């Protein structure tokens, strides 16, 4: 067991101020806000890609020349079908993946607009 330690800092002490321009004379940012940026959309995509498993699923489907069946993904990632469905649902919700039902199987692909959107924003 590790002993508990605490550190107390005296926040009433003034910190030294480095010389520089006054706030009123500081320069403006070199770039401003982009009115065309859909920040909510980019944040939703980033959130969907926030799990490494989802990034790997998306990468496998992205590199496939044809839609990928869920029956191929379950053994590839060694996860239960319910877990795969949960993660793919997040990717579909973010518009990064589409689902096509063929009888009892689901096939996944990447819409062209999804990769174009990310590429445009990141470039």
Yes or no: say if 97 and 88 are a contact pair by the CB < 8 Å rule.
yes
pTM of the model: 0.72
Residue that wins the pLDDT comparison between 90 and 123: 90
- What does the alpha-carbon distance between residue 50 and residue 107 come to, in Å, rounded to a whole number? 23
Instruction: Specify if 28 maps to a domain.
Output: no
Is pLDDT at 38 greater than 80 in this prediction?
A: yes
- Spatial strand order of the sheet with 98-102 comes to 68-69, 105-109, 98-102
Contact yes or no for 67/109 (Cβ under 8 A): yes
16 found inside a domain = no
CA distances from 13 to 9, 10, 51 (A): 9, 6, 42
Domain holding 94, by residue range, is 38-122
Report pLDDT digits (tens) over 51-89: 999 999 999 999 999 999 999 999 999 999 999 999 999
CA-to-CA distance for 55 and 113, rounded, in angstroms? 17
Say which residue, 82 or 9, is predicted with more confidence: 82
31 domain-assigned = no
Q: What is the pLDDT of residue 115?
A: 79
Residue pair 48/54 in contact by the 8 Å Cβ criterion: yes
Mean pLDDT for the chain overall: 87
CATH of the domain at 76: 1.10.10.10
Question: Does 96 map to a domain?
Answer: yes
Count of domains for the chain = 1
């Amino acid at each position: 067991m590790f002993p508990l330690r605490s550190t107390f800092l005296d926040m009433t002490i003034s910190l030294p101020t480095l010389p520089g321009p006054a706030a009123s004379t500081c320069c403006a940012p070199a770039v401003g806000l982009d009115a065309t940026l859909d920040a909510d959309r980019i944040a939703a995509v980033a959130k969907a890609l926030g799990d490494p498993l989802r990034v790997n699923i998306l990468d496998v489907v992205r590199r496939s020349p044809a839609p990928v069946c869920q029956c191929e993904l379950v053994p590839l990632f060694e996860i239960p079908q319910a877990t795969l469905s949960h993660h793919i649902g997040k990717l579909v919700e973010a518009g990064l993946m589409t689902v096509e039902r063929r009888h009892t199987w689901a096939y996944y692909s990447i819409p062209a607009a999804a990769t174009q959107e990310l590429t445009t924003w990141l470039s």
